[in-house]
């Protein structure tokens, strides 16, 4: 009887996570975090802090700018709104030739990042990380006008870094390419079958975990991308990507977190980070 009771007890007890699993497992936020741009006491205790308070853009500036490029970004109803660029010169992939990526002043090494986002019909944007401002500016400065017109990946004020893609999969042409769809590690790793993106105009909740050479993308509670830098798989993906000719692109660094200006109207809120 004692053995039977012990067996039943073991069946219902949770299995403890290994140290490695605990390091990369995303925090499960409780329902009390439903109010945008706020932290609970539990989140503060776990090391989370806000990168956007819902009222100001303190702690942010434009990549290659000393201040926030207000022609590109504004605060609207507790969100960071990317203002649609309209008819401006663009490079081949649709980004404005003279853009305005919004960048954290601070840099981050090992971290977990969480945010909410929504797009408008046909919109394209993303969150970039492991971004070197120096590399981004230098790459743009090295481009000739002819190279930019032919589809250079470095227009002015556009960040070079890993990108969590945000997209209207159904209406934007990038939705036809697996590694360009919402949640992808852009142009490198496509999201898996666990992906569930909410309809255009509704809020999605995303996370990035970046620790050492290990990276993860999460969307609405599901892990949809996982990668390891320095592996044969990632080396092959990089070699086949638009980043293949950029020295140092995939080097591990303390980098900025960037909200992408792809020219379309998109919204961000509840941006929070914790060190790992």
Predicted confidence at residue 242, as pLDDT, reads 92
Predicted confidence at residue 254, as pLDDT, reads 97
DSSP-assigned beta bridge partners for residue 275 = 111
- In this structure, what DSSP letter does residue 246 have? S
| Range with top average pLDDT, 23-32, 97-106, 117-126 | 117-126
pLDDT for 30 beyond 80? no
Share of the chain above pLDDT 70, in %: 82
Residues 31-50 have pLDDT tens digits of 445 589 999 999 999 999 99
Residues 47-82 have pLDDT tens digits of 999 999 999 999 999 999 999 999 999 999 999 999
Q: pTM value? A: 0.85
**Is residue 27 situated within a structural domain?**
no
Closest to 137 in 3D by CA, of 18, 51, 258, 226: 258
Residues 135-189 have pLDDT tens digits of 998 876 665 565 555 555 556 788 999 999 999 999 999 999 999 999 999 999 9
10 against 37, higher pLDDT: 37
99 against 96, higher pLDDT: 99
**Is residue 35 situated within a structural domain?**
no
Domain residues for the domain of 155 are: 41-275
Predicted confidence at residue 143, as pLDDT, reads 58
CA 109 to chain centre: 14
Q: Residue 45 belongs to a domain with what CATH number?
A: 2.60.120.560
How many structural domains is the chain composed of? 1
**Is residue 24 situated within a structural domain?**
no
Token pair, residue 149, equals: 């017109």
Closest to 195 in 3D by CA, of 164, 227, 222, 163: 222
Rg (CA), the chain: 20
**Is residue 11 situated within a structural domain?**
no
How does DSSP assign 17-71, residue by residue? PPHHHHHHSPP---GGG-STT---HHHHHTT-EES--SS--TTEEETTSSS--TT
**Is residue 114 situated within a structural domain?**
yes
**Is residue 36 situated within a structural domain?**
no
pLDDT for 1 beyond 60? no
The full length of the chain comes to 276
Predicted confidence at residue 97, as pLDDT, reads 73
**Is residue 28 situated within a structural domain?**
no
**Is residue 34 situated within a structural domain?**
no
Predicted confidence at residue 124, as pLDDT, reads 97
């Amino acid at each position: 009887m004692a053995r039977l009771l012990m067996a039943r007890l073991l069946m219902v007890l949770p299995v403890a996570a290994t140290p490695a699993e605990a390091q990369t497992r995303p925090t499960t936020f409780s329902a009390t975090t439903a109010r945008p741009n706020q932290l609970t006491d539990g989140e503060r205790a776990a090391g989370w802090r806000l990168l956007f308070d819902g009222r100001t853009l303190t702690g942010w500036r434009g990549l290659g700018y000393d201040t926030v490029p207000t022609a590109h970004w504004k605060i609207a109803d507790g969100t960071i709104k990317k203002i649609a660029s309209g008819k401006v010169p663009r490079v081949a992939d649709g980004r404005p030739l003279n853009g305005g990526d919004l960048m954290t002043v601070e840099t981050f090494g090992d971290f977990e990042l969480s945010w909410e986002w929504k797009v408008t019909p046909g919109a394209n944007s993303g969150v970039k990380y492991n971004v070197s401002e120096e590399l981004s500016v230098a790459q743009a400065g090295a481009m000739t006008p002819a190279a930019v017109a032919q589809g250079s990946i470095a227009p002015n004020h556009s960040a070079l870094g890993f990108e969590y893609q945000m997209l209207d999969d159904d209406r934007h042409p990038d939705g036809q390419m697996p590694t360009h769809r919402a949640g992808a590690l852009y142009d490198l790793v496509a999201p898996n079958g666990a992906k569930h993106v909410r309809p255009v105009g509704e809020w999605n909740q995303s996370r990035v975990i970046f620790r050492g050479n290990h990276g993860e993308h999460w969307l609405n509670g599901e892990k949809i991308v996982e990668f390891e830098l320095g592996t044969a798989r990632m080396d092959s993906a990089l070699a086949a990507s638009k980043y293949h000719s950029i020295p140092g692109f995939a080097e591990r660094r303390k980098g900025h977190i960037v909200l992408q200006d792809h020219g379309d109207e998109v919204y961000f809120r509840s941006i929070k980070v914790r060190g790992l």
